[in-house]
Amino acid sequence: MLNLASSTDPTWVEAALAHLDEILLDHAHCEKKAAGAAVNLLFRYPEHAFLQAPLAALAREELAHFEAVLARMEARGLVFARQRSSAYGGRLHALVRDGEPARLVDVLLVSALIEARSCERFKLLAEAAPDRDLAAFYAELLASEARHHEIYLDLARALQPEAEVRERLAVLARAEAEILRDPAPLVRLHSGGEAMDIQSDCERERVSIPVDGGTMGGYLVRPADSESRPAVIVYMEIFGINSHIREVTDRVAGEGFVALAPDYFHRTGPGVEYGYDDTGMAEGMKLLGQLKSDEMIADARAAIAFLRGRSDVTGKVGAMGFCIGGHMTYLTACETDVAASASYYGGGIAGPQGPGGGPSTVSRTGKITGRILCHFGGQDTMIPQDQVDAIRKALEEAAVRNEVVVYPDADHGFNCSQRASYHKASADDAWQRTFALFREELGD
């Protein structure tokens, strides 16, 4: 069983057959990268003796496959060369959690899914390739790809209980399926991720941001070129800068901006990273209850100052955020000079008090100088419609340039593909509106 959450769309087979030379070159690169990934794990985790022999054997087999693909290429008059890769692998690895053993488990499960998808697509090529020698070659690879899938799963099971591995694998499999639903600008063995394709050319780093005599951590991503660009702050949910928020930050950079996700839990839970389960919700809510408006404003101002102090930022800054991050986005719009803001299902904005007490955030609306976009779900019981109406009324009375969008079929968290409430149609529309706003107000 390959544990995939979707089957390949038939249109991929048609495109692959029309571009077999590109598929073969990409296949060669994939086999070489797979060998390198296995060897990298051997060096990164020498303390795990159980990894060594299986991964050494797997790496040797991947290199043998690499050589076999090179031979097929030579027979067709093709030469191995550099090739622009799809964003598939980068998007999958962006889902890997921080901290051990979660990080290693996720790397192993991502590798298992890549092997599974390769196996599925090799079978499709074996069945459809008009070159019968090439079809036979892909048929021969099926057993080894399926075996590699199981090897990675077995190694993950050695680190965590079976039930936990299965639960995490299901989450990653759904995300992998979602990645492949995006139309692809490149025909590759693992095609998918048109909007994300630029991510393979992005630079990522963990940064420290001075604030209130201490430091706030952050995850920063920027296109890998020498251009100065506008910046967008990405405010996290109560779950920390987890794999979803890192993926969103990557996507923002993929749209052509310097993207920064600041850790505004740095005072009470620096570096936390939770999943979307009952435990993650409970722990996140504890940290949410310790937030204070004045400290949140200080963090927002520190993040803006940090970005404006970078040579690769033009000085124009926008903000977006989700859940409490959506609230933080609205608060940032009120208390700083950001040019544009996009708040996704920001809870508590129209509550009687702001975080930690004091004036409500909606009462600060008259201080907004930029343009703001607010996204809400019509099925979201955490943000009653009367609070959405109060936000809309406050923005209109203050003559703030604004748009408030309510998606009738969407619930709280509709933008997150790792949550049961994910609603793709609403998420896609909200993303398009958000980046139309940023391009108009911040400039490309």
| Catalytic residue ranges | 323, 380, 412
Of 145, 118, 112, give the one whose Cα is nearest residue 23. 118
- What's the half-sphere exposure (Cβ side, CA atoms, 13 Å) at 34? 30
| Among the listed residues 225, 251, 238, the one whose alpha carbon sits nearest the alpha carbon of residue 95 | 251
Nearest to 179 by CA among 239, 250, 261, 240: 250
Determine the Cα–Cα distance for residues 169 and 157; give it in Å rounded to an integer. Answer: 11
The β-bridge partners of 25 are none
Describe the strand order of the beta sheet including 229-235 as a list of residue ranges: 202-211, 214-223, 258-262, 229-235, 313-322, 340-344, 371-377, 402-407
Query: Angle at Cα 163 formed by Cα 160 and Cα 165, nearest 5°?
Result: 50
Helix (H) or strand (E) holding 232: strand 229-235
Angle value at C-alpha 419, between 328 and 166, nearest 5 degrees: 135
Residue type (1 letter), 340: A
Question: CB–CB of 50/163 below 8 Å?
Answer: no
Contacts (Cβ under 8 Å, ≥6 apart) of 405:
373, 374, 375, 376, 429, 430, 433
The CA distance from 310 to 221, in Å, is 13
Q: Which of 231, 216, 244 is nearest to 91 (CA)?
A: 244
**Element of type H or E holding 51:** helix 49-75
Nearest to 204 by CA among 252, 139, 170: 252
Structure-block tokens of residue 343: 């708040």
266: phi then psi, degrees, rounded to nearest 5: -65, -20
Q: Are 221 and 252 in contact (CB under 8 A)?
A: yes
- Pairing between strand 214-223 and 258-262? antiparallel
